[in-house]
A and B are shown apart, each in its own frame.
Chain A
Amino acid sequence: MDMETMIKVKDVGKTFCGKENTVEALKGINLEIHKGEIYGIIGMSGAGKSTLVRCLNFLERPTTGTVEVGGKDLAALSEKELRAVRMQIAMIFQHFNLLMQRTVLDNICFPMEIAGQKKKGARAKALELLEVVGLSEKAGAYPAQLSGGQKQRVAIARALAMNPKILLCDEATSALDPTTTKSILALLKDINQKYGITIVIITHEMAVVREICTHVAIIDGGSLAETGRVEEVFARPRTRAARKLVFQGEIGSEEMKWNLATGKRCIRIVFRENSSFEPVIGNMVLACKTPANILLADTKDIGGVAHGQMILQLPEDEAVAGKMIDYLKERKLEVEELDHYVG
């Protein structure tokens, strides 16, 4: 694909120097984000994802490497030029970061005020944006009077005020409940499609990536473990960090650990579209005449394509277990032994 590159991160590293120790928050990060993509950067807390997103608008200056936004090397810009570029890169935050002493309308006007726009035009634009985020009736309210989801909608309206090319979301849904999260993600998707804004989403929740991202980068211990299209990474996580995230909260459960620790072989099978209509497991059990224990079954709709995965505990009899694996492989399913990454 020869799409226009919006953000190019090259060999970026960031080291924080404390009094006693230095922390290498990022090392050797390479990323390319194209126009119109919704790019998820996912990692456990402390993986360096918040530092990485701040390097994209130079709220943090990388110690090494370069960041190019729209073809401009941010390190080469003067303070004034950098401020001008930042107006094109909007950002929303986990804790919304609205001005508490200003009304909703004045909050949305704020970036336009910074840019020196006329007050009248700014207010008109702000009212228009309030409509986009569905909060027209709250124009005169103060942030303290809003719910979390409403605050994030205001923050999104504020982010759109300068018609940005890029929207950075730093754990934008982490402080919200699941239903509100869904509605905020739907709004972001809508904005991406309506205005063609490139969105970068920082999150620790795979569900967020699954819900709206087209691409994903998995960050682990300050380095990128894996990058690619979301459905590919989901279907074939190559690294330990990726698998851990794909199975977030599932593989780590006590029960699962116990099952895996009993010594029986566990396998993960991945369903693709072509095989999801056939009762594969049922047929397998009938063919092998031995039951297999389903530890986990999960089907997900990723970008309109149905994907499913299951974790099976195979019978102790090695011969039967081998037969089952062969049977599944014959059905063109991906089969993977699980026990080597318990916990």
Chain B
Amino acid sequence: MWDNATIMMLVKETGTTLFITLSSTVFGYALGLPLGILLVVTAKDGLWPNAVIYKILDVTVNVIRSVPFLILMMMLIPFTRFVVGKSYGAAATIVPLTIAAAPFIARLVESSLLEVDKGVIEAAQSMGAGIGTIVWKVLLAEARTSLIVGATITLGTILGYSAMAGVVGGGGLGDVAIRYGYFRYQADIMIVTVALLVILVQILQVIGTKLSKKLDKRITG
């Protein structure tokens, strides 16, 4: 049973999982990062307080986060078909994953940016810095360690979600686990698949932690 074809398939599906996870994270940040920044900037004691924008974003983020991913995926099928042309396969999985990840990322970014010392922001303002400069050079730069930790959490979470997408034929390791392990009672393949997922999460976590530590200059010695 452990013939070349099976091994090749596992290798290929590991690649698919990584592809889905990484692309969804990148697209998720493309939406979630600006969203998180806007939440911080328009908040009541933000750089540009705007109650209306803040409330709209706040509610939207909460609503999307409240919908269970499996259901969100189903609901988004027409949209997914519109974007990628079909509703199954790796590319089609990226669409609902991105939509589900964006508000999650926005909250993580928001909390990271709120950690930045208000005094440093005030210092930048006293130097005549505008909002753009403060966001880019103070908020994002000073919170970078926390942002990387957040990105690592996001990768792990999306990886888990991507396995769920296997239920609807999304491709990747989750798909393998369900098709072989569940429908064909091949427990050994299921176990190997799960082990591969665990290893992937571990690797991502180690890289993320290392990177954030390396970039953190607040720790002496």
Q: Which residues of A contact B (CB under 8 A)?
A: 57, 59, 79, 82-87, 89-91, 93, 95, 97-103, 110-111, 113-115, 142-145, 162, 168
Contact = CB atoms under 8 A, between A and B. Distances in A.
B10 to A, nearest CB: 41
Contact of A86 (B119, B128, B220): B128
B128 A115 contact: yes
B127 A87 contact: yes
Interface of B: 117, 119-120, 122-130, 133, 137-138, 141-142, 144-145, 215-221
19 contacts: A59-B122, A84-B128, A87-B127, A87-B128, A90-B126, A93-B123, A95-B119, A97-B117, A100-B117, A100-B120, A101-B142, A114-B128, A114-B129, A114-B137, A142-B218, A144-B218, A144-B219, A144-B220, A145-B220
Contacts of B117: 95, 97, 100
Given A142-B217, A144-B218, A144-B220, A99 B128 contact: no
A98 B121 CA distance: 10
A240 B126 CA distance: 34
Contacts of A82: 128
Given A59-B122, A113-B137, A86 B127 contact: yes
A93 B126 CA distance: 11
B123 A101 contact: no
A200 to B, nearest CB: 13
B142 A100 contact: yes
Nearest to B217: A142
A79 B127 CA distance: 13
B129 A93 contact: no
Given A114-B128, A114-B133, A115-B128, A101 B120 contact: no
Nearest to B130: A83
Contacts of A86: 125-128
A191 B207 CA distance: 47
Contact of A101 (B119, B126, B218): B218
